[in-house]
Amino acid sequence: MNQTKVLIIEDNRLSALKIKKLLKSSGFEVCGIVSNASDAMEIIKLCRVDGIIIDMETKFKLNGIEIVSFIHKTENIPTIVVTKHHNYQILKEASKIHFIGYIVKPYLDSQLLKEVKLISIRLGLITPPQMTSLT
Protein backbone atom coordinates (compact mmCIF):
# COMPACT_ATOMS: atom_id res chain seq x y z
CA MET A 1 0.00 0.00 0.00
CA ASN A 2 1.24 3.47 -0.86
CA GLN A 3 1.13 5.94 1.97
CA THR A 4 -1.31 8.79 1.53
CA LYS A 5 0.67 12.03 1.56
CA VAL A 6 -0.95 14.97 3.30
CA LEU A 7 -0.08 18.65 3.44
CA ILE A 8 -1.21 20.53 6.55
CA ILE A 9 -1.95 24.24 6.13
CA GLU A 10 -2.41 25.64 9.62
CA ASP A 11 -1.07 28.77 11.30
CA ASN A 12 -1.42 27.37 14.84
CA ARG A 13 1.76 25.34 15.32
CA LEU A 14 0.37 23.26 18.21
CA SER A 15 -2.73 22.29 16.22
CA ALA A 16 -0.62 21.43 13.20
CA LEU A 17 1.74 19.24 15.25
CA LYS A 18 -1.23 17.44 16.84
CA ILE A 19 -2.64 16.68 13.39
CA LYS A 20 0.78 15.55 12.15
CA LYS A 21 1.22 13.19 15.10
CA LEU A 22 -2.27 11.73 14.57
CA LEU A 23 -1.70 11.16 10.86
CA LYS A 24 1.76 9.64 11.25
CA SER A 25 0.58 7.28 14.01
CA SER A 26 -2.21 6.15 11.68
CA GLY A 27 0.13 5.33 8.80
CA PHE A 28 -0.14 8.49 6.72
CA GLU A 29 2.77 10.61 5.55
CA VAL A 30 2.87 14.34 6.24
CA CYS A 31 4.65 16.21 3.44
CA GLY A 32 4.82 19.39 5.44
CA ILE A 33 3.22 21.97 7.66
CA VAL A 34 2.82 25.45 6.18
CA SER A 35 0.77 28.55 6.83
CA ASN A 36 0.59 30.28 3.45
CA ALA A 37 -0.03 29.66 -0.24
CA SER A 38 3.52 30.14 -1.50
CA ASP A 39 4.98 27.67 1.01
CA ALA A 40 2.17 25.24 0.16
CA MET A 41 3.04 25.44 -3.54
CA GLU A 42 6.71 24.77 -2.76
CA ILE A 43 5.78 21.59 -0.87
CA ILE A 44 3.43 20.53 -3.66
CA LYS A 45 6.31 20.87 -6.16
CA LEU A 46 8.56 18.69 -3.98
CA CYS A 47 6.09 16.05 -2.80
CA ARG A 48 3.22 14.27 -4.51
CA VAL A 49 0.50 15.61 -2.21
CA ASP A 50 -2.61 13.42 -2.14
CA GLY A 51 -4.65 15.58 0.20
CA ILE A 52 -4.68 18.88 2.03
CA ILE A 53 -5.95 19.63 5.52
CA ILE A 54 -6.51 23.36 5.91
CA ASP A 55 -7.77 25.61 8.65
CA MET A 56 -10.16 28.15 7.14
CA GLU A 57 -9.14 30.92 9.50
CA THR A 58 -5.53 32.03 9.24
CA LYS A 59 -3.83 35.09 10.66
CA PHE A 60 -2.02 35.77 7.42
CA LYS A 61 -2.81 37.56 4.15
CA LEU A 62 -5.11 34.91 2.71
CA ASN A 63 -7.74 32.86 4.50
CA GLY A 64 -7.98 29.11 3.97
CA ILE A 65 -10.46 29.38 1.12
CA GLU A 66 -8.26 31.86 -0.72
CA ILE A 67 -5.20 29.65 -0.22
CA VAL A 68 -6.98 26.57 -1.56
CA SER A 69 -8.39 28.57 -4.49
CA PHE A 70 -4.84 29.62 -5.34
CA ILE A 71 -3.58 26.03 -5.14
CA HIS A 72 -6.51 24.64 -7.15
CA LYS A 73 -5.68 26.96 -10.06
CA THR A 74 -2.85 24.55 -10.92
CA GLU A 75 -3.39 21.46 -8.75
CA ASN A 76 -6.68 19.63 -8.09
CA ILE A 77 -5.87 18.18 -4.68
CA PRO A 78 -8.69 16.86 -2.47
CA THR A 79 -9.05 19.18 0.51
CA ILE A 80 -10.38 18.80 4.03
CA VAL A 81 -11.54 22.09 5.53
CA VAL A 82 -11.30 22.57 9.29
CA THR A 83 -13.11 25.49 10.89
CA LYS A 84 -14.34 26.65 14.26
CA HIS A 85 -17.44 28.16 12.63
CA HIS A 86 -20.50 26.29 11.48
CA ASN A 87 -22.96 28.55 9.80
CA TYR A 88 -24.43 29.15 6.38
CA GLN A 89 -22.01 31.94 5.43
CA ILE A 90 -18.95 29.77 6.14
CA LEU A 91 -20.46 26.84 4.20
CA LYS A 92 -21.23 29.19 1.32
CA GLU A 93 -17.63 30.45 1.35
CA ALA A 94 -16.26 26.88 1.50
CA SER A 95 -18.48 25.83 -1.40
CA LYS A 96 -16.30 27.98 -3.69
CA ILE A 97 -13.57 25.34 -3.54
CA HIS A 98 -13.49 21.61 -4.21
CA PHE A 99 -13.42 20.08 -0.75
CA ILE A 100 -13.93 16.48 0.22
CA GLY A 101 -14.44 17.04 3.94
CA TYR A 102 -15.68 19.77 6.25
CA ILE A 103 -14.91 19.42 9.96
CA VAL A 104 -15.99 21.77 12.74
CA LYS A 105 -13.73 22.30 15.76
CA PRO A 106 -13.57 20.79 18.26
CA TYR A 107 -13.58 17.49 16.44
CA LEU A 108 -12.77 13.90 17.27
CA ASP A 109 -9.53 12.49 15.89
CA SER A 110 -11.60 9.72 14.31
CA GLN A 111 -13.52 12.31 12.25
CA LEU A 112 -10.33 13.68 10.74
CA LEU A 113 -8.92 10.21 10.09
CA LYS A 114 -12.13 9.15 8.36
CA GLU A 115 -11.87 12.09 5.96
CA VAL A 116 -8.21 11.33 5.16
CA LYS A 117 -9.09 7.67 4.61
CA LEU A 118 -11.80 8.75 2.17
CA ILE A 119 -9.14 10.57 0.16
CA SER A 120 -7.03 7.39 0.22
CA ILE A 121 -9.96 5.31 -1.02
CA ARG A 122 -10.77 7.76 -3.83
CA LEU A 123 -7.16 7.68 -4.97
CA GLY A 124 -7.01 3.87 -4.76
CA LEU A 125 -4.30 3.97 -2.11
CA ILE A 126 -6.42 1.90 0.28
CA THR A 127 -8.42 -1.03 -1.02
CA PRO A 128 -11.27 -2.71 0.87
CA PRO A 129 -9.19 -5.67 2.18
CA GLN A 130 -6.81 -3.19 3.85
CA MET A 131 -9.66 -1.35 5.51
CA THR A 132 -10.67 -2.84 8.80
CA SER A 133 -12.59 0.21 9.91
CA LEU A 134 -13.07 3.83 8.98
CA THR A 135 -12.52 4.93 12.56
- Residue 71 sits at the vertex; the CA angle it makes with 120 and 60, to the nearest 5 degrees, is 110
Higher per-residue confidence, 86 vs 49 = 49
Is residue 56 in a domain?
yes
How many domains does one find in the chain?
1
Tell how strand 79-83 and strand 101-104 pair up: parallel
Tell how strand 29-34 and strand 51-55 pair up: unpaired
Q: 59: domain CATH number?
A: 3.40.50.2300
pLDDT at residue number 69 = 87
Is residue 109 in a domain?
yes
Is residue 81 in a domain?
yes
72 closest CA partner among 54, 91, 59, 87: 54
pLDDT over 80 at 135, yes or no: no
**pLDDT tens digits, residue range 79-131?**
999 988 777 777 777 777 878 888 999 999 999 999 999 999 988 887 655 55
pLDDT at residue number 129 = 54
The answer to whether the Cα torsion of 116, 122, 126, 129 is positive or negative is positive
Domain that holds residue 54: 5-130
Q: pTM of the entire structure?
A: 0.88
At 87, the amino acid letter reads N
**pLDDT tens digits, residue range 14-34?**
999 999 999 999 999 999 999
Is residue 92 in a domain?
yes
Higher per-residue confidence, 29 vs 70 = 29
In the structure, what pLDDT confidence band is assigned to residue 59 with cuts at 50, 70 and 90?
low
C-alpha 90/C-alpha 13 separation (Å) is: 23
Is residue 135 in a domain?
no
DSSP classification of residue 130: G
Is residue 61 in a domain?
yes
Is residue 83 in a domain?
yes
Is residue 118 in a domain?
yes
